Amino acid sequence: MTDVKLRKDAARNRARLLEAGREVFAQRGLDATLNDVAHHAGVGVGTAYRRFANKEDLIDAIRYEQDNELEAILNESLAMGDPWDALVLYLEKSIALHVKDRGMAELLTGRRVRPEVQDQSRNRLAPLVNRVAERARDAGVIRADATGTDLIFLQIACISISTVVQDGPEIEERSDSGDLYRRYLWVMLDGLTPQRADTTPLPVQALTTEQLHALLSAPINADNSHARRST
């Protein structure tokens, strides 16, 4: 991962920048400046640009760390005996992570990254997510047509709700509303339950893992937040 060998101070500053990057991006989103990160790290802008050629590089490095955390959650989930509890643990923990980290959320929700990074990330995590879904399905605790991609979209939904809530002001007499997304997480979990599956089949098929991947792998877009093809 790290290049060859760095001088002691250089290595220290690199670490500081990574740390600062995580904090700044978590709080202000990926639109934060590399200059911002440098300041937050107590380091000159020049130094920042020598350690990471551009913001994208820093983001890639951070993403690698984040993927480790997600993988840990998935492994913890898969180690559990009860498939339902495993499913719940994964969703709750993964979503909580994204909700606390705006940058991470943007990475999941559409922000384009270098395709190789996207691919690597996916190859590592997707199979685990699929297995979580599979176990729950085989155990009959979720409807038979539920898939791993459903879990992803379910997360996206919850995170989006949380974003809307967080962008607003603190609500009077109820500042704990950062939890609100959990209400809808549980509505959806109830909806995944097999009970009603026979009476109301879902109107649209789930995406396959490949389709989801294709969806999230559009050509990298220098422009950040909300790209859109023009007419």
Partner DNA sequence: ATCAAATGGATACTGCGCATCCGTATAGAA
Partner DNA sequence: TTCTATACGGATGCGCAGTATCCATTTGAT
Instruction: Catalog residues that contact DNA under the rule CB under 7 A.
Output: 6-10, 12-13, 31, 33-35, 42-47, 49-51, 53-55
74 binds, among DNA, a copy of itself, none (CB under 5 to 8 A by kind): none
DSSP per-residue letters across 29-77: -TTS-HHHHHHHTT--HHHHHHHSSSHHHHHHHHHHHHHHHHHHHHHHH
The residue within the footprint of a copy of itself, chosen from 78, 207, 209, 220 (CB under 8 A), is 207
Axis crossing angle, helix 180-192 with helix 83-100, rounded to the nearest 10: 150
Range 77-116, binding a copy of itself (CB under 8 A): 102, 109-110
| 49 vs 186 by CB, closer to DNA | 49
Range 114-153, binding a copy of itself (CB under 8 A): 150, 153
Of 44, 161, 54, 53, the residue nearest 98 (C-alpha): 161
Question: Judged by CB under 8 A, which stretch of 23-31, 46-54, 61-69, 119-127 contacts a copy of itself?
Answer: 23-31
Compute the distance between CA of residue 139 and CA of residue 105 in angstroms, rounded to an integer. Answer: 30
Calculate Rg over the CA atoms of the chain: 19
Contact 88, 132 (CB under 8 A): no
First to last CA, the chain: 41
Q: Give the contact letters, 169-188, x = binds to a copy of itself (CB under 8 A), - = no.
A: x-xx-x--x-xx-xxx-xxx
211 binds, among a copy of itself, DNA, none (CB under 5 to 8 A by kind): a copy of itself
Which helix (H) or strand (E) segment holds residue 112: the answer is none
**Distance of closest approach, residue 43 Cβ to DNA, in angstroms:** 4
The residue within the footprint of a copy of itself, chosen from 33, 68, 123, 225 (CB under 8 A), is 225
10 binds, among DNA, a copy of itself, none (CB under 5 to 8 A by kind): DNA
Q: What are phi and psi of 200, to 5 degrees?
A: -130, 95
**Distance of closest approach, residue 53 Cβ to a copy of itself, in angstroms:** 25
Contact 202, 145 (CB under 8 A): yes
230 binds, among a copy of itself, DNA, none (CB under 5 to 8 A by kind): a copy of itself
**Distance of closest approach, residue 16 Cβ to DNA, in angstroms:** 9
